[in-house]
Amino acid sequence: MKVLLITGESGVGKTTFAKHLKENYNYNIVHSYTTRPKRDEQDNDHIFISKDRAYEMMNNEEIVAHTQINKEHYFTTVFDFKLDRPNAYIVDAKGVKDVKKNCPEWDITVLKVITNENHVSKDRLKRDIAIPEDHECDLILERKVIHKYYLTKKNVHVPKPNWVDVL
């Protein structure tokens, strides 16, 4: 199974990039389950469940990655990944370690997204849905910049159309 783990600081465009992979390269986006409340009605990057349901799932299913932030659980199961196409999963550093440890037979690539701006927009940190400003990002694979892409208010621009072949 092919899995791309996408990591990076908050607000750099990880979700926007994952959506680009889904729309243009047929990637399955793996969403984490979480016990935290929705931030707003448009917050759909996770699967929101109760703590009781989370404990039930964590006790009865094969957990691929798990983390706890501010007493809220974030996790995914083996059943959320697809065998018939590549998977993109946005995770933190602990999640990367969990996936590698729990699924050593998977074909795993870790991709870090960083912004080339000196700061992340305050609006983006407030979780605005629209990207407030255009900016350039780097895709880092094994500590080397493999490609640049550009986030705009409407979409992702990737200069080299076949860069996904690297993954």
Contact between 19 and 29 (Cβ < 8 Å): yes
**pLDDT tens, position by position, 6-35:** 988 877 778 888 888 898 889 999 999 999
% of the chain surpassing 90 pLDDT: 46
Q: Which three-class secondary structure state does DSSP give residue 20?
A: helix
Q: Which one-letter amino acid corresponds to residue 40?
A: D
Check residue 44 and give its pLDDT. Answer: 84
Contact between 67 and 60 (Cβ < 8 Å): no
Find which of 5-19, 38-52, 73-87 is predicted with most confidence, using mean pLDDT. Answer: 73-87
Which residues make Cβ contacts (< 8 Å) with residue 160, sequence separation at least 6? 147
What are the angstrom distances between the C-alpha of 102 and each of 6, 62, 76? 17, 9, 12
Lowest-confidence region among 65-69, 100-104, 148-152? 148-152
Match 């050593």 to its residue by tokens.
104
Mean pLDDT computed over 45-50: 93
* Average pLDDT for the chain: 77
Check residue 123 and give its pLDDT. Answer: 43
Give, rounded to a whole angstrom, the gap between the first and last alpha carbons of the chain: 13
* pTM for this prediction: 0.75
Match 């607000």 to its residue by tokens.
11
Which residues make Cβ contacts (< 8 Å) with residue 112, sequence separation at least 6? 6, 7, 8, 139, 140, 141
